[in-house]
Amino acid sequence: MDDKYIFITGGDRGIGRSIALRFAHGGFKVVYSYHRNLDAARETLRMIHDIGGEGFYIRMDVSDLDSVARGYKEVSKKVPYLNVLVNNAGVLSVGRIDDISIEEWNRVIGVNLTGVFLVTKTFLPLLRRAPWASIINIASIAGQTGNVVASTLYSASKAGVIGFTRRLAVELGPEGIRVNAVAPSFVETDMVREYIDTPEKRERIKNLHPLRDIAKPEDVAEAVYFLATPTSRFITGQVIGINGGRLTC
């Protein structure tokens, strides 16, 4: 069992793409899902091939049980096990509670929280077959503090991911499966750039962080790689902040 396999939800762009490339560099065979952007999924695979990596993608809606079940069936036909599962797929929500409809609530909770549950539960058999296994959930600083731009809805979804991570680490620890999360602050992705659309906003966001900068997707990918691999063998149930020191002030 020398081969190493990873499955990433939402691996077609942004943080997910950076994670895919980091693990390809580390010798993993990379499997990832996309939801709508097929061109981005193809581009990620091209980039993996360009660095000598191997992998493939599937289409999957993490909030839909039938879609997740089909995704599992497709992946399990092509890989014997998974060493790493990264629950990365997510959607952003901003604004005050008065602006949140029940439809928006269900959509964001469905992707950000229910999706983590559905994918983890469905793909767990592949993790249990591996010689070693790790689950990394992409949470957010919004799940740790209310002093952020994101809405109460987004904060609730990511706080749920943190609680899910900590409890699941207790459940799966005796099986040797570690479960951790990373909690980024603002990261240079398309999703965030839609919000930071002026130099003034960008400077204001930078100044929220003691390091006076905004994280790059590669910063998140490096933390995920460390937590996912046996180098961090005695770390589980933890939430690692990738926030430029923001929670310290």
Among candidate residues 182, 20, 33, the one with its CA nearest the CA of residue 5: 20
Both tokens of 104, joined, read 């928006």
Q: Residue 209 half-sphere exposure, CB side, CA atoms within 13 Å?
A: 19
Q: Say which of 32, 57, 81, 154 is annotated catalytic.
A: 154
**Residues 63 and 112 sit within 8 Å (Cβ to Cβ):** no
Per the annotation, the verdict on 154 as an active-site residue is: yes
Measured N-to-C along each axis, helices 152-172 and 115-128 cross at an angle, to the nearest 10 degrees, of 20
Show the beta-strand stretches assigned E in the chain: 5-8, 29-34, 54-59, 84-87, 133-138, 177-184, 239-242
Q: 237: Cβ–Cβ under 8 A, 6 or more apart, which residues?
A: 165, 166, 169, 170, 173, 179, 180
Alpha carbons 96 and 108: distance in angstroms, whole number = 15
Q: Residue 88 half-sphere exposure, CB side, CA atoms within 13 Å?
A: 27
Active site (catalytic) residues = 154
